[in-house]
Chain A
Amino acid sequence: MTAIAPAIAVEDLGKTFTLHTQGGLQLSVLRGVRLAVEPGECVALADPSGSGKSTLLRCIYGNYRPQAGRILVRDGERTVDVVGAEPRAILELRRRTLGYVSQFLRVIPRVPALDVVAEPLRALGASRAEAMAQAATMLERLRIPERLWRLSPVTFSGGEQQRVNVARGLAAGHPILLLDEPTASLDADSRARVVELIVEARHRGAALLGTFHDAEVRDAVSTRVATLHEAAA
């Protein structure tokens, strides 16, 4: 049997921010981080806030640019090192493989919630009708009232925006999902629905890595807990 590469393999990752507007202040956030996530597992990062969990997720998504190490992401048959990858390679990786749910939705005036959720599906080549139907299912499962679907989420409450964001992040069924506090500002009922969707993604074989401040949510979704500190050791 040949060994298959993990979905995500982080090797000796280092990320330092140099703040030129603050007299060149250097903030070393990640040092020597090592971590692997396999398909079908959900790894919860359990460090205290401010320790660099979100920074790690953003590095894996190709949003932050690390100074050291490698981030190997399995993309079908091949493996892509996100560190130093060309912009178009990262965009392609995000389109096909990497999903990301943050705490905050970046809303665009005039773009309806349904289109916001359908966009990643359209990018994967789904027809407009297919993408819209799947988007509607996701919004329904996350209890976004149907009368809001045709409106831009600009005017939605924080919790509604967060659920639209979760719907968008999970709609396309990406094989790898990065989750940065996906339930942060949700009530108990919405939380339960997000948990259900995350567990479903895991069961279909997705590899998940996330931060879940809420211990109940963490216990419900994760198969393993890791810390950046032990990951670095």
Chain B
Amino acid sequence: MSTDGERPLLRVRGLTRWYGPHVGCLDVGFDLWPGEVLGVVGESGSGKTTLLGCLSGRLVPTAGTVEFTTREGSSVDVLRMSEADRRRLARTDWGVVHQNPRDGLRMGVTAGANVGERLMALGVRHYGAIREAALDWLGQVEIDGDRVDDMPETFSGGMQQRLQIARNLVTRPRLVFMDEPTGGLDVSVQARLLDLLRTLVADLGLSAIVVTHDLAVTRLLAHRLLVMRRGQVVESGLTDQVLDDPQHPYTQLLVSSVLQP
């Protein structure tokens, strides 16, 4: 990660979302730099998922701005661009990894088709090239190539999650949103997925925003943390600063509540 002559990939200011009288997230602001992984932590209902939804264009915020720096180096306002432009951006530059792989996969088509689909959406038409890319990515997420024609339904939860990751990364996005990526998995499967994510993020120089309630996950994956409570960011900093020297009473409570095996 170099620090000179760079612009933030994402500039978020005053992001707010109300649900009627209830606050989803309130006045959230941060910069995300290229190659940086930002962890968003807090308990259920703290606004983590609302924030992720607003950032990735799945929810319309009540107020605020989200600026994204494109591959060409120009800055676009994600919240004010046309639906078609936003969809194109989502297809080329963004990935979304859902907690439940069923929300991110197409369960009615094969594993290979799941990975190939995003490539086809970008206009790749050569069947051999698509299949080759699919096989390559199945390998990268440690799924046997001979499962390429199998339906995701026949995969374990951990494999489905790895398939979802392959489906997202095949188009080389620059920013990946992850919502509790290890959420529904057994601990042994979690370790494998985490190691895989860590390696892929580092090798591809990806930027990512990872929402999780699991502080151990952030220790491994995130460079920086935002701690959210009741929709607001109560503390932020380098991951090891926030976990080892938490300042806010809520962060101290979160950190001290983790069971040490």
Which residue of B has the minimal Cβ distance to A87?
A: B238
At the interface, yes or no: B224 with Cβ under 8 Å from chain A? yes
- Given the interface pairs A64-B244, A87-B223, A88-B3, the reply to whether A110 lies near B238 with Cβ below 8 Å is no
* Interchain CB contact under 8 A, A58 and B244: yes
At the interface, yes or no: B91 with Cβ under 8 Å from chain A? no
Q: B51-59, B149-157, B171-179, B248-256: which one contacts chain A?
A: B248-256
* Interchain CB contact under 8 A, A88 and B191: no
* Cα–Cα, bound, A88→B240 (Å): 13
At the interface, yes or no: A145 with Cβ under 8 Å from chain B? no
Q: Helix, strand, loop or mixed for chain A's interface?
A: mixed
Which residue of A has the minimal Cβ distance to B238?
A: A87
At the interface, yes or no: B237 with Cβ under 8 Å from chain A? yes
The smallest beta-carbon distance between B45 and chain A, in angstroms, is: 21
Q: Which of B2, B33, B220, B240 contacts A63 (CB 8 A)?
A: B240
* Interchain CB contact under 8 A, B191 and A109: yes
At the interface, yes or no: A89 with Cβ under 8 Å from chain B? yes
Interface flags for B24-35 (1: CB within 8 Å of A; 0: not) read 000000000100
A: residues with CB less than 8 A from B are: 17-21, 58, 62-65, 87-92, 95, 106, 108-111
* Cα–Cα, bound, A88→B252 (Å): 23
B: residues with CB less than 8 A from A are: 1-3, 33, 36, 191-192, 194-195, 198, 219-220, 223-224, 237-238, 240-241, 244-245, 247-249, 252-253, 256
What are 17 A-B residue pairs whose CB atoms fall within 8 Å in the complex?
A: A21-B252, A63-B241, A63-B244, A64-B241, A65-B241, A65-B245, A87-B223, A87-B224, A87-B241, A88-B36, A88-B223, A91-B238, A92-B3, A108-B194, A109-B191, A109-B195, A110-B191
Shortest Cβ-Cβ A-B pairs, 7 listed: A20-B249, A87-B238, A109-B191, A64-B245, A110-B195, A87-B224, A20-B252
Which residue of A has the minimal Cβ distance to B38?
A: A87
* Interchain CB contact under 8 A, A95 and B237: no
Contacts A20-B248, A20-B253, A65-B245 supplied; 13 other A-B pairs, CB < 8 Å: A62-B241, A63-B238, A64-B241, A64-B245, A65-B247, A87-B224, A88-B1, A89-B3, A91-B1, A91-B223, A91-B238, A108-B194, A108-B220
